[in-house]
Amino acid sequence: MNLKISQRFPGKRAFITGAGSGLGKSFCQWLARDGWHIFVSDIQPGPLEQTCREINSLGGKAYSCQLDVSDEQAYLQAARQCLDTLGGLDLLINNAGIGDGDLLSDYTTSLWKRMIEINLYGVLHGFKSFVPVFQKQKSGQIISIASAAGFVNPPGMSAYNASKAAVISLSETMYYELAIYQVGVTVLLPTFFKTNIMQFSQGSERVRAFATRQMENSTTTAPELARVCLEGAANRRLYVLHPQKARTRWVLKRHFPRILRKKILRNLSTLLNLPD
């Protein structure tokens, strides 16, 4: 392997959250093939151990800690452990997150808080923990995983939409704040792809079933998405939209919003009992 991002960062040091499965694991696999030292974290110890074994077998070097990204103090401790182990950092991937949904009237405030604490504060804790190091180094790259849902805002996903919209906003802000330090910021904006993001869903079963069908029917895979994202980050792109459906919806949202609104209502009206 010869990833372009490895050329930018020959030290090859990364910290990745949610690395036990799905997209996080795919990032690990690509980087491991290029010889990166990867400090991985996940809330589940079993899958985390498996990821470490794969990293080492593929040619990388794995280090790990169990981590709930919504816990600020635990995150700070994990960051210190990472920096003590690697002696610095080149790439932070804020990947950990959950998927869930229901109509706003049926989705409890406690579930809202859970969504925000993991999907938004988990990313914020990554920025707060590692940005001072990147500023001091005057180098580094941050990738945060958002979603096309953060700008499409489909019904039945209010908390998820809001959390991902906030990740987009935070990434845009930090893109400017870190530019003078030569630190890159990239936000990934995919539509549905094959992953297990709904494994901890506590909301509506119909929304869970709908999302599961969309992911199963998608032709986009986590390894493909990770590769495209790493390429975009290597080229210092702020937005990475993939697959084509995400790019199309980005254009519709900005230039033809009425068409997009009709499309979303038509596609989801049956599921959520909305009028056409």
At residue 234, what are phi and psi to the nearest 5 degrees? -60, -30
Q: Is the peptide bond before 45 cis (omega within 30 degrees of 0)?
A: no
Identify the residue whose tokens are 């990934």.
Answer: 188
176 is catalytic: no
Catalytic: which of 160, 176, 181, 239?
Answer: 160
Residues 20, 47 contacting (CB under 8 angstroms): yes
Of 1, 84, 81, 83, the C-alpha closest to 35 is 1
Q: Count the residues in the chain.
A: 276
The DSSP-derived string for 242-265 is ESHHHHHHHHHHHH-HHHHHHHHH
Identify the residue whose tokens are 């199309």.
Answer: 248
* Rounded CA separation 274/59 (Å): 51
Burial (Cβ within 10 Å: 0-12, 13-18, ≥19) of residue 19: buried
**What sign does the CA torsion over 182, 188, 194, 198 have?**
positive
Q: Is 90 helix (H, G, I), strand (E, B) or coil?
A: coil
Q: Is 93 helix (H, G, I), strand (E, B) or coil?
A: strand
Q: Which residues are catalytic?
A: 160
